Amino acid sequence: MKDSQDKKTLAVNRKRDVALKLEAREETLTAVSSSPASIAPKWSEPTQLNQNQVDRTNLEPQITQIVLNSSDPEIVLPEIAAALGKAFEVEYCVIAVMGSDRATIQTAYWYPNTVQAPLTQHPSPLLGHLNIAAILASPDPIAIADLGAETALEQVNNSEDLPVQAVLAIKTQFQGHVNGVVAIMHSLAHCWNASEQERLQTVSDSIAMAISQVQLQRQVLASSGHQALLNQLTMAIRSCTELEQILKLAIDGTARTLQVDRGLILLLKYTEPILKRDSQKRIPKATEVTVVCEWPTASPSDGNQNAATQLNQSFCLSKCGLCQDAFTNAPRLIAIADKHSIPSGDPIAEIASIFDFNAMSALLLVPLESQDTVLGFLALQQLQPRPWLSEELALVELVSAQMSTAILQFQTLRQTSALVDERTYQLQSILKLQAKLYEKTRQQVEQLRQLDQIKDEFIATMNDQLRNPLASMKMAIHMLRQPGQSAERQAKYLEILDEQCTKEINLIDDILALQQLESNKSPLLLQKIDLKQIIDDLAELFEKKWGAKGLTLTVDLPKRPLMLQTDLDSVDRILQELLTNAGKYSDLNTAVHLCATHEVDPQNPQIVLTLSNTGPGIPLAEQEHIFEKFHRGQGVSKQVIQGTGLGLALVKCLVQHLNGTITVSSNQISHSQLWLTCFTLTLPQMQG
């Protein structure tokens, strides 16, 4: 910003100096014009001079006023050209401004008298008839009376149909440096007199000062515009979250600042995410070049001759010699002022059709490189031939550097984001797996806790069930050993001893039987039985057992026999255990219901028995564990209900041994605190 302010100050000071010099020159010329001796011509005049052709006292003050009064540098030289044209009464007046390299024409301004010579409004056709090099080499004005007869200024490839015939041209110099060319032209042959040549040479100094002033103002404006563009890009890179926004801003700002006809941003797509150039600068064959941004973005309906979009079009890097040259020689840019200047044998002559060299004559191709990696290209194109100035090249190099940084930054960010997403996904998967493992472990711990609880309950139960009979037997044996026992008491102790020994044997038999059933080592002794007869015998037995508790057993059986081909002992043991369990968990003075029915199925005839009782019930959470060995429901110990927890487990194994099924349900009776528990047993009617 300080450089821009310094240039603005310099422009103001120079504008003031130019005005002072122009005023001083005006006073000198006025004094010289009053002296008759000073009017001696430098060249002989073939015709009588017309003093009205050139207004000596009015032209330079006009130039001074134009420079002082014009705030826009772009209108200064056109106004001066118009003033020259009118003053010299010519059809054309061209003021060409040299570029910063002082070798090429940067811009040209002209004054056409459209009434006498209605030509195109672009000065290039007129400049094409001038040998600029000859004009720059001559210290004096070059006067051509008839271009048809003389060829000193005519280019070799010009058309024979010349728009002008007479030319008077001179270079302009400021502070010892050539900065432009001034040419006045007639459409017809004209002999330029010495006064006209002298006057043009005299006024060239004022025009040189004006050109210098315009160039300085342009530099100030261009520097401000360039700095504003770079600042805007810097802020965009810091704040924008999308690379596309930054690229669009860069190509739009650069194209508008340099006033080009078309701009493109092309990115390389490597076979790998980022590929650095090797030491031999070989071209990666599989690399693809794609247009990601373009300017302008007009549609064909806008009437723009460059409306055909190149966006998203691609080509292989190895198919374009121009891009290959830019790739291998990066960061050096390629500046083509005129397509006709490219030799046919040049490797860059092989140009991808995307650049449309048939329509575009000038091209500036800048590699987008960062950390020795070519990321893409910035391409600027002009319809007409255009010399690319050093300050313009400096600007696009700075813009390309910022774009390269942004592209690499976003590519790195994208790769980092993808890596983070991948790692996050992996971490989430690991966490999910850990959660499943944790849940599995928790379930296993819970099962172990339950098994530990079952073990404790089993040990406690076995302690009672095994030790109590043994204690009773030991007490009976001890009493029998006492002398003087009566025969009656001896018989009672023997009966206790026999009963407890039988209970101990049955408990051990249950454990062994359950072990054999679980290991599938228990054989089946199949025989034909009548289930009704077994149920009748058991009903009579259990009614006697339940008399003290006030329980009753109601049996609902069909009239016809319930014949089964099965193992008698297994069926009898199943029914005994179910009835025993029903008696334990029934409330006093209630009824136990036993029902048997046929299920007619030709493929698999079955007999279904249901045994229900009214009592405390079984919670839903306990129902799935009710058939596990050594498992006893909650509250059983508190209710002092005798049992080992093996009965229902033995029932489950016996039912499966007979290819049957057994289920349990327990539901609270409405308007009551009692529960109805029901066991449903299904047995195949004929066992194979």
Distance CA 332, CA 277 (A): 14
pLDDT value, residue 328: 86
Q: Is there a single domain that holds both residue 444 and residue 482?
A: yes
pLDDT in tens, 411-424: 888 888 888 999 99
The DSSP result for 446-458, as a single string, is HHHHHHHHHHHHH
Q: Is there a single domain that holds both residue 516 and residue 530?
A: no
How many of the other CB atoms lie within 10 Å of CB of 509?
Answer: 10
pLDDT in tens, 452-497: 877 777 677 667 677 778 888 888 888 888 888 888 888 888 888 8
Q: Is there a single domain that holds both residue 671 and residue 589?
A: yes
Q: Which helix (H) or strand (E) holds 12?
A: helix 2-33
Contacts of 637 (CB under 8 A, 6+ apart): 457, 460
567 lies in some domain: yes
How many domains in the chain?
4
pLDDT value, residue 236: 79
Q: Is there a single domain that holds both residue 196 and residue 51?
A: yes
Q: Is there a single domain that holds both residue 314 and residue 349?
A: yes
426 lies in some domain: yes
Distance CA 666, CA 436 (A): 33
Long-range pairs of 450-455 with CB within 8 A, sequence gap ≥ 24 = 454/628, 454/630, 454/631, 454/645, 455/630
Regions of the chain with pLDDT less than 70: 1-57, 100-106, 113-126, 128-129, 150-162, 271-286, 298-308, 343-349, 458, 461-462, 464, 521, 602, 630-645, 686-688
439 lies in some domain: yes
Q: Is there a single domain that holds both residue 514 and residue 531?
A: no
CB 574 within 8 A of CB 580: no
Q: Which amino acid is at 162?
A: L
CB 137 within 8 A of CB 125: no
Strands 105-112 and 92-98: antiparallel
pLDDT value, residue 158: 45
pLDDT value, residue 301: 46
CB 574 within 8 A of CB 654: yes
Q: Is there a single domain that holds both residue 19 and residue 143?
A: yes
CB 525 within 8 A of CB 566: no
pLDDT value, residue 608: 92
pLDDT value, residue 378: 92
The structure tokens listed for 673 are: 């605190």
Q: Is there a single domain that holds both residue 56 and residue 175?
A: yes
| Predicted TM-score (pTM) of this structure | 0.50
Domain that holds residue 464: 413-522
Q: Is there a single domain that holds both residue 333 and residue 420?
A: no
pLDDT in tens, 431-445: 999 999 999 999 999
Domain limit, last residue, from 223, 255, 273: 223
Alpha helices in 34-123 (DSSP H): 59-69, 76-88
Q: How far apart are the first and last CA of the chain?
A: 105
407 lies in some domain: no
pLDDT value, residue 427: 92
Distance CA 296, CA 69 (A): 35
Alpha helices in 481-530 (DSSP H): 487-518
CB 379 within 8 A of CB 346: no
Dmax (CA) of the chain: 185
In order of 33, 578, 598, 661, the CA distances from 568 in angstroms are 153, 16, 19, 17
Q: Is there a single domain that holds both residue 461 and residue 538?
A: no
Domain limit, last residue, from 488, 522, 556: 522
Distance CA 562, CA 630 (A): 33
234 lies in some domain: no
pLDDT value, residue 338: 83
From the CA atom positions of the chain, what is the Rg in Å? 57
The structure tokens listed for 590 are: 């209630």
- Using alpha carbons, select from 79, 74, 76, 38 the residue that is nearest to residue 56: 38
CATH number of residue 439's parent domain: 1.10.287.130
How many of the other CB atoms lie within 10 Å of CB of 181?
Answer: 24
* Residue pointed to by tokens 């077994």: 534
155 lies in some domain: yes
Q: Is there a single domain that holds both residue 364 and residue 495?
A: no
Domain limit, last residue, from 522, 552, 580: 522
Q: Is there a single domain that holds both residue 512 and residue 576?
A: no
Phi, psi of 176 (to 5 degrees): 80, 5
pLDDT value, residue 610: 94
